[in-house]
Structure 1
Amino acid sequence: MKGFAALSLICLASFLGAADTSAQEFSPREYRREIENPTQVVVLGTTHLSDAAEGWDPKVLDLLLDRLASFKPDVITIENQPGPTTSKLWSYRSVYPEAAAAYAGRALLMSSIAALSLDMDMPQAEAELRRHLGKVGENPTPAARRRSTALFAASGDPYSALVQWWRLPSSERVPGDGVSRRLAALLEELGLEREEGVVLAASLAVRLGLERVYQIDSQEDDVLTPEESDVFFQKVFPVVAERYNADPAAKERGKIENMTTPEAALAAYRKLNDDRIERRLSEIEWLGAIKERTEGNVGRKRVAAWESRNLRMAANIREASARAPGGRVLVIVGATHKLWLEAYLGMMSDIEIVSTDTILR
């Protein structure tokens, strides 16, 4: 009897051990083996092109755009706030005062201008946009595309509004169908901006015949108090920044001032997407913040905010990817996000990360 009891305990322990191991090893990516054509995702790290010096010509990106077009993405995402997040930031502007002003300004302005013509608030415009896009089909009339332009703008998506505007023949880029003179002027102004949402995402979407881009950023930072944020930028950030700027990896990273020709711009983007460089810089910036000891562990809290933001971005990208199961998704983000998003997205059941080396070579 004692032998039987001992054997039972051994079997139970083995079962529990196996169950624990199974739980620890679970990964949604294992389901990918059951999918013949997983959704392919390229995460392109970029510098923020709005930092370019006066006189910089975005045409030096033509060779890069050729490489990106060769990937033939079905979905393009950009590092800007989606309409609901913009609306939330504004509604909670007393909580997120800096984020509301810095990251929601243009979308709110264009949304309010479009809303006057359409007599719709942001959620109403989003609902009407979905109905409208379902009705117009693949070859909308100029009037239908102008209305799409106005609805995208009113819903808090200025970059997709620009895609619709640019897909109109130049003779049809005129006020009407919800596009007021003021909104038309704002769209023309946006089209002249030297930023990646315009010169990379929107222009590529038009070139490929896509109807829109997807905004996937999330600046809803609710981790550090204002006082803790002050401590971080006074005590942690200067130390980390000094190490960062002194490291050879920072000097190797692609820079916009080096983008003087199409060939040089492509070379700079290869460096911006070099995993070796980005891993080293991430160690300095984020592991460095974790290691820097202060009252309240503000460095660790700042990393928690960073990880939370990237997780929300990854969720938005995954949601956008559902529009094209088995298709191709191009994610355009600041280079610092690249490794984090590839790590998070690579855990998904229907995502295959494609190296930028395959299209930037």
Structure 2
Amino acid sequence: MPQLHRHARDPKYFDLLRVLDEFARNNGRSIDDDSTHDALISSLSDALRAHRTNPIRLYGFRTEAMFAHVAAALGSCDIIVEEDAGIHYDSNPDSVAPDFRILTLDGEQFFVEVKNFHQKQPMGDFKIKSSYLEKLRAYADKFNLPLKLAVYWSRWGHWALVDSAKLFTSGDHMVLPIAEAFARNEMSTIGDCMVGTIPPLTLRLHADPNQPREIRDDGVAPFTTQRVELLSGEAILNSELDKKIAWYMMLYGKWSEIEKPVSVTDNLIDYVDFSVSPEAPSEEHDWAIIGSLSEMVSNQYLQQTSVDGSVKRLAPVEQPDSLGVLIPPDFHGDDLRLWRLIIQPNFDGLPSTNIPS
């Protein structure tokens, strides 16, 4: 699978000159006038301050950037282009360029408009203005390509990629119920899948037997770590890829039951475990889903762009290939057992969905 790299133009060159020219034209000024430069700086300062203090806009911009990195990290896209970055000329004065154009490794091409949806109710429906969606479709129709919506249901940490033609009309809005979003989800098109393995996933710290490790009368037990192991269930993971995948799932997966058991023999520390497992293990089989790849990449992305829940940057410093762990299609772990559930979209939808009026 290819690794996509982020290519960005240096804004110090053409982009800034274009902004200056746009500002000058809109205000009847000349680009070679120093007062135009000063007025632009003042205008940009005010605009930046407004953007930074507007949480809806800030989280929306970050979610847009996050989708591109998630799509790049999943390993099934050939190229991802920021479609709405720049000028376009169109015979239709009302068309709006979507956020991205994607070409997959299978040759499928489509436009994507990204939306951050922080629903008030956990099961709330996503809505978008019909008039705005029509402007996006007008652009996509010119290229005879489908327009898809990538909606990030932030309370669930879940991505849904749905064809814009599959939304339902409700007044002056188009509506996507959450049940339909899950059923029609096309994230598998760009490499997403649900991943399961044997719980618990454990980081085990073995105490050095040649160093002090006795539990004292006051309950204190200093010990020195001699070696570290990663386990899935009772299986010790030996290969580097097995360990890399397991560690990534521990950090960014959805298993929330955390345990820290200690093994003691004759009052001496043997090892300390840090384990994660599902809250409700299956009674039918020995494995459990720990999350989807897109959810885990998003969790990592949010961690690298936030401090205490506050947005500190829109995108990580690292390239997208540093986010996530690409699991080869023919992966057969030496010791790590994985289950990958590739959910195919139900293009016909759910017959029992209740559409709001």
TM score, norm. by length of structure 1: 0.21
Judging by fraction of residues, say which structure has more strand.
2
Judging by fraction of residues, say which structure has more helix.
1
